[in-house]
A and B are shown apart, each in its own frame.
Chain A
Amino acid sequence: MPTGEFTRREVLRLGVAGAAVTLLPRRSMFAMAAEAAQGFLTSQQLAILEAAVARIIPTDTQPGARECGAADYIQSMLSFMPGSDANCDRRVNAADLTATVLAAAQGHRPGCPLGGDSDGSGVVDAADAVRAEGAVFGAQPVYAGGPFSGRQPQAHFPTGSTPCYVCHGAPLQQSATATGSAAAATVDNYPPNFFTQFLPLPRLQALSWKIRILGATAVPEVAGNPLARELPEADLRRKYRDGLAALESTSQGQFGKSFVVLTGAQQTTVLNAVDPAFMTLLTGHTIEGMLCAPEYGGNRNRLGWQLVRFDGDSQPLGYEIYDESVPSHYRERPDKPNSGPNPDEDCSGFSSGINRFLTVISSATLTQPGRRFPNPFCFDVPA
């Protein structure tokens, strides 16, 4: 990758960030280490971000964006660079530059393509740190691996062969809650989590992610493409740095206080006063951070999926169990049927607010208005 000058500049910047941490007074070595591991956004910026996402999807009787870890997702996204996450902690920072050396003592983390003896010399030494600097721009958590996360079991076992997750045709195994000897068989029924094995990027995608994170100026090859400068997904670090700074300065200007300590109503005022393009970007990322696969850094404890009553990734189990012992060869899960209503479907419909919203949408399209139907009913289809 043609990163020469940029590489040095970026490493320098990371180094300066690390140095700034060491200059902060009254911080133990532990605190420094924690600070360095934060990722691209400083702890102050992260606090503003936390407050902002918590205002976009607030916490009430149910969790909001704060509990779901949406800010962690954004931090994780802003922190990666092609190849930067040498220690596989999903954060890119100065710590990655020494991670390869330390990795030998700490043991190799599975799924991390880098670390330890990064130059393949057979010895872990300073040369590996140099190599790690180069690797800071080589493979990173942009795309989770596949095919399975290990959150769902494989329904079928091959008869009399090594347990595997590629097979079909045997009866459904007991669930993960089974105990004793059945549990041993069931454990193997869960495939490993491939999602944590993030995929390396081919050249064009590496360039594209450089544009996303660092902006079009970091990639001279796209000088002839206006979209590399115009699209919302480009230049994310600058947009977040500027956007969060605008939130804070607007807050100080209007209320004389940090955004973090404003009341909810005051925060809403500030959110409405800053660049709407930034708010659109932030809102989209907040949603992603709440509902993503947890491997991307958000959706903490899968609270986001619970909030919207979504099961998440369903492979390799799925919703139609392949079973050759039944005539159709398919068996549905009684708790989560594919072809009919949920067993606990209450058919209560929507709140009055959502009904108003849908009524407006239905009547709003000027050329071809939709309709609210007089007799919506709730039923299973006759066979």
Chain B
Amino acid sequence: MSVPSNVPGVLGNTSLDRFDALIVGSGAGGSAAAHVLAASGQKVLILEAGDNHFPGLDRSGLIPELIPWPLYSNDEIKMARRFVLQDPLVEPRTFRQTENDVARPNPDVNNLTRNVGGAAVISSVSYPRFTAVDFRMASALRAAGRDFPGTSFADWPLSYDELEPFYAETERLSGIAGAAEGDGADPFQSPRSGPFPLPPQPEMYVGRVLAHGARQLGYHPFNYPSAIATRPYDGRSPCVSCGFCSYYGCARNAKGSPAVTTLRRALLSGNCQLRYNAHVTRLLLDVTRRRVTGVEYVDNNGQQRTAVADYCILAASPIESARLCLLSDPDGPGVGNSSGHLGRHMMFHFQTTGVGIFKQRLHGERGRSITNGMADFRGITEGGAALRSDRPLGGVVEFGTSSEPITAAHESLRPEAVQFAHLVGVSLKQLLVESPFHAHIAVMIMQGEDAPQPTNRVDLDPTVRDVFGLPVPRLTYKNHAFELDASAFYKPEMLKVFEAAGAAYGFFDPFDPTVPPRSRHVLGGMRMGDDPRTAVCDRWGKFHDLDNLYCADGAVFVTGSGYNPTPTIIALALRMAGAIVSPAAAERVVRRTAGEIRAA
């Protein structure tokens, strides 16, 4: 056994050459599944399209219990240059609003990260759970007599209560800081079996100011549950509020991204090998077309290679997972698509971004990205069991900002801003020096639920090709009145919060339907359900059409909720992997493989 690896491009046990499981993607879902499977003795191969910026992730640190430092840093240029983002120069995507339009190549179609650990590595790791009503949204809307023509709401084939133990394990593995009860807790959250494993995060000035405004209006702001260590936790260093949070990889492993939590556990188990810069291009099927035998991938030298395993788990993020199924069946409807629903019902949270400008410097460049939030605009009752009749379904509102100066200056350079500056005779230098968008800004983002629609879909673009010569994903997406009306309903309320908080100005990022959804919460495309005619995956995440193909990313989501999705992706992947090991005892398997948390 050779852990750690000394082979370039490989982490984990390099001597493994026969695999039970092959996982495409090392993000939230793939890493969670890898952890449970490897801890259960399965031999796991993970193929990751991106590079690795966690050198030594498969070995113990300078001080044995500490994870070695990553290559992430407080560096705006590195991130502005797409250090880890999917790069449209080599991997473009195309976008259109409806099937009647011609899709155009677009650099902003949900460009998630390409790196070991997946998109959560550079997210704010805001990790709330979904609520009970989220899992039966179709029934709840029907019971309330609310009908939205053109939408495809459905109930999930599992309940919140069934998922709760897996949420608890997700929170323990990821080291989530939050308040389960009392002042800092979200009253709209559904019942929990226990407290968060870590105490709540220190609040930043911006968060406190907006929470103060919200409280004055009778709302219920809470300390945002985040997978950011507030104590030494499982080899991770506690956060020191460096300020470079959302959009940056953590420089000290305080963020409990999949890389330093579930993936690291899998790599240290001796049962897992990860090959990075390995871009999967095709699933290989046997003659029955019911079994995946392996995959083809292109390695970092541009060589085409093959990997085989007994079963395969797709966890490449919804757009790429759907694309892989379509690429692997060029003459047919796509692998796993007898239902015709593969790639459909795509969802992105509909973000309503309110901007408050304050007279004083709020220095949002200190602190984490989001320390406070409120769910009063989600439109559900306390405890999250039912819909409120007096307001639409919006989403959780995040209080905070990332206001590093280059990012802020680029805001000032948007064409409309330049036009206004000319109009009133303000120079770019004045904008830089007085920094209204940098030091004085407070942001509220509502993560509104967007309705699932069969017409919102991913398929293959007929003309545009990526650097491998393969057809690229084409996104067809148009917002429904469901989320647009909710956004319009809550906007005046958001302005009131800004006013009560003491802002001098409040306005909104304008919504432009001709550009792709800005949210990086990408969900749907392989929704789960018991009926193979309407669902791609079953209630465990296995493809109805195949005997040994699974999906462990956000593609299996039936509806999108109005809370951040990552912990739900992880909980579902843990549960799926447990069911692979022992179909009747998923929960027991996950409990057995849990392992210790090493709190230094």
Contact = CB atoms under 8 A, between A and B. Distances in A.
Asked if A and B are interacting partners, one says yes
Nearest to A286: B428
Interface string B415-452: 01100110111111111111110111000000000000
B501 to A, nearest CB: 9
Interface in B230-249: 230-232, 237-244
Interface in A116-136: none
B488 interface: yes
A207 interface: yes
B252 interface: yes
Contact of B277 (A202, A330, A340, A348): A202
Q: Which of B53, B83, B465, B504 has the most CB of A within 10 A?
A: B504
A308 B66 CA distance: 36
Interface string A290-303: 11110010000000
B217 interface: no
A365 B416 CA distance: 10
A240 B11 CA distance: 41
B506 A371 contact: yes
Interface residues on A, range: 35 or more
Contact of B202 (A143, A212, A224, A338): A338
Contacts of B358: 376, 378
B89 A203 contact: no
A195 B366 CA distance: 21
Interface string A53-64: 000111010101
B77 interface: yes
B157 interface: no
Given A203-B300, A296-B77, A148 B251 contact: yes
A231 interface: yes
A246 B209 CA distance: 49
Interface stretch (B117-125, B143-151, B319-327, B405-413): B405-413
Grouping DSSP codes into helix (H, G, I), strand (E, B) and loop, the A interface class, with mixed when no group exceeds half, is loop
Contacts of B506: 362, 370-371, 373
A195 B242 contact: no
Interface string A126-165: 0000000000000000111111110000010010010010
B302 interface: yes
Given A354-B436, A358-B357, A226 B105 contact: yes
Contacts of B439: 308-309
A121 B83 CA distance: 33
Contacts of A199: 71
B503 interface: yes
B241 A338 contact: yes
Contact of A373 (B83, B90, B212, B503): B503
Interface stretch (A20-28, A87-95, A96-104, A310-318): A310-318
Contact of B81 (A142, A307, A328): A142
Given A143-B83, A313-B73, A347-B359, A319 B413 contact: no
Interface string B88-122: 11111000000000000111000000000000000
B87 interface: yes
Contacts of A312: 74
A357 B502 CA distance: 19
Contacts of A361: 417, 420, 505, 507
B17 interface: no
Nearest to B251: A147
A228 interface: yes
Contacts of A74: none
A20 B102 CA distance: 49
A204 B231 CA distance: 38
Interface in A315-354: 315-322, 328-330, 336-342, 345, 347-351, 353-354
A273 interface: no
A81 interface: no
Interface stretch (A3-11, A166-174, A250-258): A166-174
Contacts of B404: 310
Contacts of B251: 146-148, 315-316
Given A329-B238, A339-B208, A364-B416, A373 B433 contact: no
Nearest to B106: A227
A257 to B, nearest CB: 25
Contacts of B53: 146
B38 to A, nearest CB: 25
A371 to B, nearest CB: 6
A345 B423 CA distance: 30
A323 B202 CA distance: 13
A111 B440 CA distance: 38
A144 B73 contact: yes
Nearest to B80: A288
A207 B504 contact: no
B300 A143 contact: no
B90 A225 contact: yes
A177 interface: no
Given A57-B432, A321-B240, 15 more contacts: A56-B428, A146-B70, A149-B73, A155-B240, A203-B301, A211-B90, A225-B89, A231-B107, A313-B74, A314-B74, A357-B420, A358-B504, A359-B505, A368-B508, A373-B498
Interface of B: 51, 53, 61-63, 66, 69-78, 80-83, 87-92, 105-107, 199, 202-205, 208-209, 211-212, 230-232, 237-244, 251-252, 277, 279, 300-302, 355, 357-361, 363, 365-367, 404-406, 409-410, 413, 416-417, 420-421, 423-436, 438-440, 463-469, 472, 488, 491, 495, 498-499, 502-508, 510-511, 600
A-B pairs with lowest CB-CB distance, top 8: A370-B507, A318-B240, A224-B465, A146-B73, A313-B74, A376-B504, A147-B251, A320-B241
